A = this chain, B = another copy of it.
Amino acid sequence: MTMVDSATMKAALREYVEAFNAGDAARVCALYADHATVEDPVGAPRVEGRAAIEAFYAGAIKTGARLALVAPPRGSHGRSASITFQVQVTMNGHAVKIDVTDVMTFDDSGKIERMQAFWAPDDVHPA
């Protein structure tokens, strides 16, 4: 059985942050499988498939949001890995920081097939 390894998953997560902060939605989406799903935040309806995911990231990047890692990525003994960061963004004219942890699940080819973003309304703080 081929399975993505921890180093590959962590490299993808670091590239995710860099690509997002470079404002390059296409580069972010290149990390995703065609059939991927994005649940951001967990508990909200999922964004499904490449076209919807591209629109999601284009919108997120348009806000001017920046991601700041607060700890190294974590791997697992399976197909999933996580990153913990703050989103720095202006909402309704106010600078805020949002505490977030993302869990990404990868397919055999090293593409992200599932993204889950953990943050709640009480994770949004004045910057």
Residues of A within 8 A of B (CB): 6-7, 10, 41-44, 70-72, 74-82, 84, 99-101, 103, 116, 118-123
Q: Is the CB of A74 within 8 A of B120?
A: yes
**Main SS class of interface, A:** mixed
- Distance between Cα atoms of A85 and B25 in the complex (Å): 30
Q: How far is the CA of A44 from the CA of B76 in the complex (A)?
A: 9
With both chains docked as a complex, state the minimum distance between the C-beta of A111 and any C-beta of chain B, in angstroms: 18
Known A74-B100, A99-B72; judge A118-B43 contact (CB<8 A): no
Question: Which partner residue on chain B sits nearest A6 by CB separation?
Answer: B120
Are B77 and A99 touching (Cβ within 8 A)?
Answer: no
- Given contact pairs A43-B80, A74-B99, A76-B119, enumerate 4 new A-B contacts (beta carbons under 8 Å): A71-B84, A74-B120, A77-B120, A80-B116
